[in-house]
Structures are given as structure tokens and as C-alpha cells.
Structure 1
């Protein structure tokens, strides 16, 4: 299967792979979804600024295909600067469209949505919104 240029660029040189260091001005949230037995595991880590309640940093770890790496990398880029309400309304299908993701790889965007749902649940429990 041939991937788009956008997928190949993010797969070959991801900018948001790795860990996050959380300092006293931030709180970290992490969501891990998927299963190695199914071929993909995605962890999304964010650092939320305690004063602004916005994401200041986002990183990911993936065990999976190049398309999942590309989706996770773009997801982390798009999360920076968002509030809880904005993350809750984030449409991961847009990531697939932007990357020109093949239909057979759309499960990568669903996995990203699952990670966001899990992460925002933890965030909301820690900081209920009106």
C-alpha cells in the first residue's frame, strides 16, 4: 500500500514522539488504547497548564503501522493550545482527511478518538467544567 506524502513525512520524521516532563506549573494526563495482540497500541501524553487549563505540550508513543504514527504525530500537533472543551469536540476524522489516509487505515483515527475520550474523562474528573 502506498502512503501519501503527508503520511510518509510524519512517519519518517515524527516531531511529537516520546515522553513529556511535567513541571509544577502543569499536570500530565495519559491515555493508552489498543492491544499488541491486535497490532497497535497508542499512548497520548499531554501537559496541561494549571493556570490556563490549556495543553502546552503533547507527545505520543505507538506500537503500530506508519499510518498510526502519522495520525498520532498530527494529533499531538493539533492538541497544543486546546482547552478541555475544545479537545472534547475535536474530530479525529479530520486528521485522516488531512493525511489522505486510505480507508483501510481509518482505524488509526478511531484509536486516536478513543485515546482522546479516555484522556478527557480523566481531565474532566480532575477539573469539572461548567
Structure 2
């Protein structure tokens, strides 16, 4: 009986420690340090004003925070605090219902999951220019 209590206590303690390890997920995501390098590596080849194909097709430039937040010729692609409703997140994550012909990055390999999570967290944290 004591062994069971000891085991149960150890499991509860272990789960508590694991939950505490998730503290980095609460860390504020920085546009300059975390998000912009992802955009630079995976998006700017096509989304730089004025002459790239992605910019010509959509009007979306991503070289700066202000350009990204301006969005496309059809409006914003980011709704601060709402990654589930942000077009950018839907397109880069390839969510159900997204036409594969406009999934981003267009014609290339999908961004790694850790990069998608970083952008999602940044949007959910308010898409700040930090």
C-alpha cells in the first residue's frame, strides 16, 4: 500500500515537473528575433516588393513588420491574437479547406512544425513589433 502511494506521489510530482518545463511556451515571441528570420528564410524570395512573383500576384510584401501587417491587396493576413482566423497561418499550415495551389510557401516544402508553432504563438500573443 505504501509503495502505491509512493509511486502515485512520484507520478504526480513528475507530471508537475514536466508541466513546469513548458515555461518556454509562455515566453514572448519576438518578431525581430524569432519570426522575421523565418520569413527571411522561407518567404522573402517571393514576397518582396516590388518585383517578386508573390508580391505581384497578391500584393503581400514581408520584408518588414509594417509590410506584413498591411497584408495583401485584399486586406490583412494577420489578425493579432487570432492565429486560427489569420490567413497567413491557414496558408502556411496548409489547413483543411486551403486550396493547395495557394498553400505557402508556394511550390516548396512546408515549413517545419517548430517554425509554424513559432509564428502561431507570435500571432496569438498579439503579433507585436518586438
Give TM-score scaled by structure 1 length: 0.28
Q: Give the structure with the larger strand fraction.
A: 1
- Return the structure number with greater relative CO, CA threshold 8 A, min gap 6: 1
From the CA coordinates, give the structure whose radius of gyration is larger: 2
